[in-house]
Amino acid sequence: MPKIKCPIPDCEYETADLEAAIVASLLTVHSTIHSSLNAPTAKIEKVKRPSISAAGTSEEWSYFMSRWSDYVSATKIEGRDKVVQLLECCDEPLRKDLTRSTGGSLTDKTEETILSAIKKLAVREENTMVARVTLHNMRQDRDEPVRNFSAKLRGQAGVCKFVITCPNCNHEVNYTDTIVRDVLARGIADPDIQLDLLGDKNQNMTLEEVTQFMEAKEAGKRSASRLLDTNAAATTSCYKRTKQIALKDKNETCSYCGKKGHGRHAPARTRKTECPAYGHKCGHCNKDHHLEALCRSKDKEKLPTASTDTHSYEGGVFESLCVLSDIISNHHSNKSIALDHHLYDHLSDTWIRKRSKPQPFINLIIKSLPEDHKALGFSLNAPQRTIKLPAMADTGCQSCPGRN
């Protein structure tokens, strides 16, 4: 088969003398090159023109000049167009003052003349020492990255003129980085990172080395705090589950005294301080640590339950401090409001809600005397019974429920 050229004009591609199927494949592959060359390119974002307003600082003017230089380089404007675009960078008040000060049209002026006129109106006159004092008083804000704080210091130091002329060679020495490094070390918000920096053996680090050192410490503390937050959340969740189980158990009625607050089957060390039945010997089965009303012995007599025995050890467990009586004059009826137990805290000068301490109980042994038997007419040969009862050591100063 003869050689076949590419059908695209001005294309010099030509196939070899091969079979028809191979020639068709070669032309198909070659056509993809033209397709890629003719494909539409991505739309480039238009370069934004910088802006400037009156009453700015020297730092803002330096930033504007950097932006203006980049804008001119990207747009490649020259001559009169450059002056027009420079004037458009000014906001309306500045443009009006600029026109008034020059007294006429500005488009026929040179770029240097316009820049000089803009700087006179847009930049406030500043004392170099004021700018330096401002730099030394700068501090890192909370949650501000170290790199951002360092960039802010560099911007302020740019107008401080940290340049000195060498007396020997008349060469200008710029020591801005050294001052910024010291201000960065002084203005860091985290005292731990500051101590680590001051305690490092390398005391001749450059500004960039100090910034990297602080960034590494900052990243480490941030990662550690996240890890601690995760562990704390897991611990808190486990603690909450345990607390809920314990609270549910405390709300159940004690199987030894019939009261709530220390659980249904509390351990001995808990019942020793909170359960009023601890140390009491049952009068039915002669076993310790439970009341007769809750005795589970099959041979005991039927007694009222703890829920109906309103007088059983009522004076031994004080869940309320007192009862207030609110007399309603219209209906002449009393409305009782129960208050929880409170203690007065002298440090905070207020009453604090707090559970009362367990009441002290002693075992009291009661028996009749022979003289009393004789005086009452009983036979001395009759068996004498000895009864052991728990008694509360009450001083009589407890606040008891009552009515007005």
pLDDT digit of tens for each residue in the chain (404 aa)?
567 777 777 777 777 777 777 777 777 877 777 676 665 555 677 888 998 888 777 778 888 988 999 999 888 888 888 888 988 898 888 888 888 887 777 778 888 888 888 888 888 777 788 888 988 999 998 888 888 898 889 888 887 888 888 888 888 888 888 999 999 999 998 888 889 888 888 888 998 999 999 888 888 887 776 666 555 555 556 656 666 656 666 667 888 888 877 777 777 777 788 888 888 888 778 888 778 777 877 555 544 444 434 444 444 334 433 433 443 444 444 455 666 777 777 766 677 777 777 777 788 888 777 777 777 777 666 666 778 888 877 766 655 544 43
Distance CA 382, CA 71 (A): 122
CB contact at 8 A, 303 and 292:
yes
What count of other Cβ atoms lies within 10 Å of the Cβ of residue 188?
21
First-residue to last-residue Cα distance in the chain: 125
What count of other Cβ atoms lies within 10 Å of the Cβ of residue 309?
16
Q: What single-letter DSSP state applies at residue 293?
A: G
Which residue carries 């910088």 as its tokens? 50
Q: What is the pLDDT of residue 244?
A: 64
Amino acid at 14: E
Distance CA 43, CA 41 (A): 6
Distance CA 315, CA 295 (A): 21
Query: What is the distance of C-alpha 345 from the center of its chain?
Result: 31
Report the CATH number of the 128-219 domain: 1.10.1200
HSE-up of residue 305 (Cα within 13 Å, Cβ side)? 7
Give the DSSP H or E segment for 101.
Answer: helix 92-102
Q: What is the pLDDT of residue 33?
A: 74
Q: What is the pLDDT of residue 183?
A: 92
Distance CA 128, CA 160 (A): 6
Q: If we measure between CA atoms, which residue out of 253, 190, 254, 182 comes closest to residue 218?
A: 190
Would you say the pTM of this structure is higher than 0.75? no
Distance CA 312, CA 390 (A): 12
CB contact at 8 A, 196 and 217:
yes
Query: What is the distance of C-alpha 372 from the center of its chain?
Result: 77
Distance CA 95, CA 84 (A): 12
Q: If we measure between CA atoms, which residue out of 119, 133, 125, 59 comes closest to residue 89?
A: 119
Question: What's the token pair of residue 150?
Answer: 């360092």
Distance CA 159, CA 56 (A): 13
Q: What is the pLDDT of residue 242?
A: 61
Distance CA 264, CA 271 (A): 10
3-state secondary structure (DSSP) of residue 367:
strand
CB contact at 8 A, 157 and 176:
yes
Each domain of the chain, given as residue ranges in start order, spans 1-36, 58-122, 128-219
Q: What is the pLDDT of residue 333?
A: 46
Q: What is the pLDDT of residue 329?
A: 44
